[in-house]
Amino acid sequence: MKVEVVVISKEIIKPSSSTPDFLRKYKLSYLDQLSPTLFMPLVYFYPADGKISNWERSNQLKKSLPEALTRFYPLAGRIVDNFYVDCNDAGVEFFQAKAEVELSKILSNPIPDELNKFLPHDPHDFRDFCMAVQVSFLNCGGMVVGLMISHKIVDATSLHMFANSWAAIARGDTDIPYPKFDAATIFPPKDHVPGSNDLVIKKESTVTKLLVFSTSKIDALKDEYANTNGEKRRPTRIEALSTFIWSRFMASTQVDENPNKIYLIEPIVNLRPRFDPPLSNDYFGNIWRPASAIMTMDKDYCGVVDKIREP
């Protein structure tokens, strides 16, 4: 599937209210400083709606974005080095585009590199802005919304928090929680972060594969890997899928245990629920770390669940 996307308009959207001077300098936390230099992308697909045109849907998003940016004021600023965001209300780019493709063809054969064309910029093309949006109109009347936010200020939890808040504002909801910008207090930034200049993931060094698991298949895997240490405990979705992928790696490569090699599974862990007491998911920023589980070559896949589950 090849996609041709043509930009037809570009605007700068600014917050509906000016950011107060005392909030002008948003400090990055230490975990922000450690995060890679790229953009976190989200792409949403919407079928045609006979009750409202794509232009009307796009304008509804555009009109609600200033209020969302007022709530999430750092997103309209500019990143200064690896230390803080200048919350100067410079705004975010909002593109409108047309794509010569049908929604059904995209969803039946999604190709990650082609889906990147629905984003306003290449996720690896890092700049000082924090966020950009692209709304693409499809031949079939469907619509695609591509959102990208700098990984320097968001993790996956914060990215979805903003997207959900923006959508709620666009719907006219009023009961929307405000984000908490206290990450730099919890993880104070450092004047010098060793290796911070190397935290760039180069595009040519990455390979993306899309694996789709149905709910029923995931449930079956959970049941299969439920027995650990003689105790019936159903694994989480991540535990079950990690175990399955590890088992397929072993089967396809037929690896032999080598004392000179270390094999790792490294899931990303949201640290918010691991605090005592737990932090809410309203805490904005990068509050995550990778957790390494050293794997063995035996075929006791329930033991893999135990390794991933270890604190």
Query: In which residue ranges of the chain is CATH 3.30.559.10 found?
Result: 5-201, 215-309
What is the second-level CATH architecture of the domain 215-309? 2-Layer Sandwich (3.30)
What pLDDT is recorded for position 273?
A: 93
Q: Tell whether the model's pLDDT for residue 196 goes beyond 90.
A: no
CB 14 within 8 A of CB 76: yes
**292 in helix, strand or coil?**
coil
CATH code for the domain defined by 5-201: 3.30.559.10
CB 162 within 8 A of CB 154: yes
Whether the predicted model's global pTM rises above the 0.95 cut:
no
More confident residue, 112 or 273: 273
Q: Side chain identity at 292, as an amino acid letter?
A: S
CB 295 within 8 A of CB 242: no
Taking the CA atoms of residue 53, residue 58, residue 61 and residue 62 in that order, the dihedral angle to the nearest 10 degrees is: -130
In 3D space, the residue among 148, 147, 158 whose CA is nearest the CA of residue 286 turns out to be: 158
Average pLDDT of the chain to the nearest whole number: 88
Highest mean pLDDT among 72-86, 94-108, 215-229: 72-86
Q: Tell whether the model's pLDDT for residue 69 goes beyond 90.
A: yes
Percentage of the residues of the chain whose pLDDT score is greater than 70: 88
> What are the φ and ψ backbone dihedral angles of 131, each rounded to 5 degrees?
-155, 150
| CA dist., res. 83 & res. 191, Å (int) | 8
